[in-house]
Amino acid sequence: MRPGLKLLLSTTIIWAASPAFAQHVPTALSDATAHPAKWPTAGSQGLTDPATEKFVTDLMATMTLEEKVGQMIQADIGAMKPEELRQYPLGSILAGGSSPPLGAPDRSPQMPWVETAKAFRAVAMEPRGKHAPIPLIFGIDAVHGNSNVVGATVFPHNIGLGAMRDPALMRRIGKATAEETAATGPDWAFGPTLTVPQDDRWGRAYEGYSEDPAIVRSYAGEMVLGLQGAPGTKDRIQKGYVAASAKHFLGDGGTLGGVDQGDAQVSEDELIAIHAQGYVPAIQAGSLTVMASFSSWNGAKMHGNKSLLTDVLKGRMGFQGFVVGDWNGHGQVTGCTITDCPATFNAGLDMAMAPDGWKGLFESTVRHARDGTIPMSRIDDAVRRILRVKVKLGLFDPARPFEGKAGVLGNPEHRAIAREAVAKSLVLLKNQGVLPIKASANVLVAGPGADSMGQQTGGWTLSWQGDGNSNADFPNGQTIYSGIAEAVKTGGGTATLSADGSFTAKPDVAIVVFGEQPYAEMRGDIATLEFQPGDKQALALLRKLKAAGVPTVSVFLSGRPLWVNPELNASDAFVAAWLPGSEGAGVADVLIGDKAGKPRKDFRGTLSFSWPKTAGQFTLNKGKPGYDPLFALGYGLSYARPGKVAALSEVPGFDAAALNTSIYFAKGVAPKPFAFAAEANVTRAPIDGPQTQEGAQQLNWTGGPARLSIGGASPINLSRETNGDLSLQLIYRLDRAATGPVTLSMGEGKGFDATSLFTGETGNWRTVKILLKCYQQSGSDMNAVGAPVVVRAAAPLSFSLADARIVSDPANSICPGSK
């Protein structure tokens, strides 16, 4: 048994323990310079023409340096007031995933958004300088419909769309999304996401259409055309089109270990062959913008990579729109902070996304332009690109016929498109004769996802992570249960909702809807592909129904393929439904047949991500050595193409619990043995933990005030985790209640009063999750955390610590000592 405390410090352990590790040994670590001649050519269509260029030239001739720099900076509406645009003539605003419209809640319908757009625009369009006012461009994450807005049509997340293999439908989805975006005020959607995820542990896997670059390539141009209209379209915003942003350039889906914002340690050939494929058609279709990736390529942050942003993207690939940064991504470039980063502009970034640091970044960038650190030619190039896009979108024309228009958000045509997409995205993994279900059947609809708009829509919906959404937040949506109920009603059947699967009259069949809870970037990263490791609630439900003699149909809601062999064994039919969005009825369209049991619609979805045979097949991608999936890319049964699935092994093949690690704790920092440092009056001894022999350390404060710290590795930066509402989880047992005040901090911070955590009942293991924000608020420097666990106690106390790790569970986290 492993003695001692597990202080879980690094992701590196995961890689070492992973079977995929051998395939992942970096080859050319130091090489982060691209060779443009190797890259495909593309060429922006419809972005330049003599009249536009002349307009831009004339305008620029009258602009001050401050006005030019302003164009290059984007602020978040949550961190800027419209009036501030008078002093700071910024070119753009965004609404981040957690940024509500002005003076309104995060989950707001159309009109507060419209008012917000108008309020900012009104100030931007006040007369200033020697020229006509320059319109703002307002961006939002309309990544599966205009999904930040209550009442919008929410389309399936990209992973589901990839399963449809229907490029033409992508264009219709793009147009509907554009109209619903323009109707609420923004003129720019931060999509399509052209990532090609290679490691399914990544929390953004579902934002990608496929692990297969060919599928991404077949969709990219169509989505851009849907959002923006054909190249050369005039008066786009007036016609209900918005600007697209192909993202995240480049290699976001290739990071080692599937770590969000991590490092893609791949060769240049692989970067081209896998990750760059979607950008060729997106640029050709005239994508007005491209977003730089948070991630690195071979150790160098994309936001600072001139060879890729300038030489490849703008040079070789002929991209003539502008490159926008990602959320403070510039601040991660070596030598930069969020308020000071000439390197990113010199590398080719045209507009920095500086949500909260915009003021400082504006001032420092003006200074760098003045003293030549950023050459004037670079500033002029960036501004020209931005103004060109604004012209091409029609923003200089004040008419906004779509903005505020009634009957656009969630209208029947858009919802019908989404419902069609849901039906087409379903992938039938197994069917032992139970599907389709007769419309005359009595159906039990069970599982936590059956009647949950929040679960079926997932992350990037109404809130950043998609957590906390209730059915009432989707006035135009329909749950999967409700769709089933409607379908069986037509045939004289019944649908009974019973989340826990209990029933009084035995049903003919049960449809059990379960899967992942909503998540988005960072928080969605996981350590194993096992579904519900250790806590197999869905499996228990399926088995209970089977034991009662009820045939089971599983509808699995997930943002990635997961190891579900036990659940597959316990199901008579199993459907991968991904994150279908607001139109749950699309599920019933395929599962429920007519009265006689003839299908109304057949399955047509096929896997766009390979399905794992073990929980450790993190990087399971077609064409890669050792490819041995349970269901290969392209797999999918249908009523016309039935197939058998034999009983599957229920050994996961990978034990995440043995990893001693948290994926969030330290990004890429090599594991160091944790160290205890205690002042006199604290003793320590190994004892048995809740799970393992000698799996904890007993810590005794024997006298007066003393401090104990655990850490000792080089300082780690937890600022992003803090921003992302992550928590420090402690598993401990109180052995002797505190007899005086106790504080907790990270590093040298003053800390907060945590006495309440060390009083009360002794002798039982407790789990507590403390928001990192509490540490920050009480003075800990989250940018450089030396010791993540520092305990100060004024008087005798004794407790045993078994585990400390960074977790994501904001709803169940606390801030001790604060009201």
Enumerate the active-site residues.
326, 521
Nearer to ligand BGC, 192 or 240 (CB): 192
Region of 90-98, 174-182, 691-699, 795-803 interacting with ligand BGC (CB under 6 A): 90-98
742-745, strands of its sheet edge to edge: 675-678, 706-711, 789-793, 742-745, 752-753
Q: How open is the CA angle 614-620-622, to the nearest 5 degrees? A: 135
Residue 1: which residues within 8 A CB-CB, separation 6 or more?
A: 692, 693, 694, 695
Pattern 304-333, ligand BGC, x by CB under 6 A: ----------------------xx------
Nearer to ligand BGC, 291 or 713 (CB): 291
Figure out which of the listed residues 39, 358, 464, 474 binds ligand BGC, where binding follows CB under 6 A. 464
Figure out which of the listed residues 71, 99, 277, 296 binds ligand BGC, where binding follows CB under 6 A. 99
Q: How far is the CB of 328 from ligand BGC (least distance, A)?
A: 7
d(CA 429, CA 577): 10
Q: By the 8 A CB rule, do 126 and 134 touch?
A: no
d(CA 503, CA 540): 16
Residue with tokens 């190249």: 231
Nearer to ligand BGC, 631 or 775 (CB): 775
Q: How far is the CB of 141 from ligand BGC (least distance, A)?
A: 5
Residue with tokens 């602020």: 75
Figure out which of the listed residues 82, 89, 91, 97 binds ligand BGC, where binding follows CB under 6 A. 97
Binding to ligand BGC in span 269-298, by CB under 6 A: 294
Nearest to 455 by CA among 568, 611, 580: 580
Nearer to ligand BGC, 140 or 564 (CB): 140
Return the SS3 of 540. Answer: helix
d(CA 476, CA 585): 12
Figure out which of the listed residues 98, 411, 440, 496 binds ligand BGC, where binding follows CB under 6 A. 98
Region of 93-101, 158-166, 451-459, 786-794 interacting with ligand BGC (CB under 6 A): 93-101
Nearer to ligand BGC, 96 or 185 (CB): 96
Pattern 174-213, ligand BGC, x by CB under 6 A: ----------------x-----------------------
Residue 448: which residues within 8 A CB-CB, separation 6 or more?
A: 455, 499, 513, 514
d(CA 209, CA 197): 9
Quote the tokens at residue 342. 């000439």
Q: How far is the CB of 461 from ligand BGC (least distance, A)?
A: 13
Nearest to 793 by CA among 753, 717, 742, 734: 742
Figure out which of the listed residues 70, 89, 91, 96 binds ligand BGC, where binding follows CB under 6 A. 96
Q: Is the peptide bond before 192 cis (omega within 30 degrees of 0)?
A: yes
Binding to ligand BGC in span 390-409, by CB under 6 A: none
Figure out which of the listed residues 521, 530, 567, 583 binds ligand BGC, where binding follows CB under 6 A. 521
Q: What is the DSSP letter of 528?
A: -
d(CA 546, CA 530): 22
Phi, psi of 133 (to 5 degrees): -60, 150
d(CA 223, CA 219): 6
Nearer to ligand BGC, 70 or 191 (CB): 191
d(CA 564, CA 604): 22
Q: How far is the CB of 147 from ligand BGC (least distance, A)?
A: 12
Region of 92-100, 147-155, 407-415, 639-647 interacting with ligand BGC (CB under 6 A): 92-100
Q: How far is the CB of 773 from ligand BGC (least distance, A)?
A: 12
Binding to ligand BGC in span 634-693, by CB under 6 A: none
Q: By the 8 A CB rule, do 180 and 152 touch?
A: yes
**Residue 174 identity:** G
Q: Is 619 in the site for ligand BGC (CB under 6 A)?
A: no
Using CB under 6 A, count the residues that bind ligand BGC. Answer: 14
**274 to 42, 166, 278, 387, 692: CA distances (angstroms):** 16, 20, 9, 32, 43
Figure out which of the listed residues 74, 307, 700, 723 binds ligand BGC, where binding follows CB under 6 A. 723
Figure out which of the listed residues 10, 59, 124, 141 binds ligand BGC, where binding follows CB under 6 A. 141
By Cβ distance, which residue is nearest to ligand BGC? 96
Report the interface residues with ligand BGC, using CB under 6 A.
Answer: 96-99, 141, 190, 247, 294, 326-327, 464, 521, 723-724
